[in-house]
Copies of this chain bind each other. A is one copy, B any other.
Amino acid sequence: MTRLHIPVRLRWSDLDAYGHVNNVEMFRLLEEARITAFWRHPEAQDDPWPTAVLESGPQASSHTLVARQEIEYLRPLGYARDPITVQMWIGHIGGASLEVCYEVFDAVRPESAQSASPEPRKPCARATTTIVLVDAVTQSPRRITTLERAAWEPYVEAPAVLRRRGA
């Protein structure tokens, strides 16, 4: 069971009038985590994540479409300067699409971190995104390559379990 732990920084403007990260901005944070994890940026200085095998930029031969998203908000996420952690894994790899799963955790306070807490922390949100790989020229879905599959398979885990609708 291997998950990526991706730090994402909040911005003050992510907060709404109640002082919590707005429900729409939460999807922005997931987008940031996804871009960090999957795209290799020629101009980025840091070591890319092992899953970052998609090329970005105007010359890229493929891009991604978001086909579906689902989220449940479990606890409000407040402001912190330290980055939050988006735990990310892959719930399913299909022929031309993959399901990305996330659990969003707020920044750990030092005092909480020191306490010998026997219980695991609870996420603020749980979510999934289905992304489709699209050929940049034909604009049609294209098959996931062997290279991509090899890079992503170590991060396949059971899909996130969200509450049923209406429940």
Cβ of A156 < 8 Å from any Cβ of B?
no
Given contacts A28-B13, A58-B19, contact A78 B43 (CB under 8 A): yes
A141 CB-CB contact with B under 8 Å: no
Q: Does A121 contact B (CB under 8 A)?
A: no
Q: Given A12-B35, A23-B31, A24-B24, list of 12 further CB < 8 A pairs?
A: A11-B28, A13-B16, A13-B31, A15-B17, A19-B58, A43-B78, A44-B80, A44-B81, A45-B109, A46-B82, A68-B162, A70-B71
Chain B residue numbers with a CB within 8 Å of A11 are 11, 28, 32
Chain B residues near A79: list those with CB within 8 A: 41, 43-44
Q: Chain A residues in contact with chain B, CB under 8 A?
A: 9, 11-13, 15-19, 22-24, 27-28, 31-32, 35-36, 41, 43-46, 57-58, 63, 65-73, 78-82, 91-92, 94, 99, 107, 109-110, 128, 130, 159, 162-163, 165-166
Taken together as a complex, chains A and B put the C-alpha atoms of A82 and B16 apart, in Å, by 22
- The residue in chain B whose Cβ has the minimal distance to the Cβ of A47 is B81
Which 5 residue pairs across A and B have the least CB separation, nearest first?
Answer: A44-B81, A23-B66, A24-B27, A70-B70, A45-B82
Q: Contact: B36 with A31, CB < 8 Å?
A: no
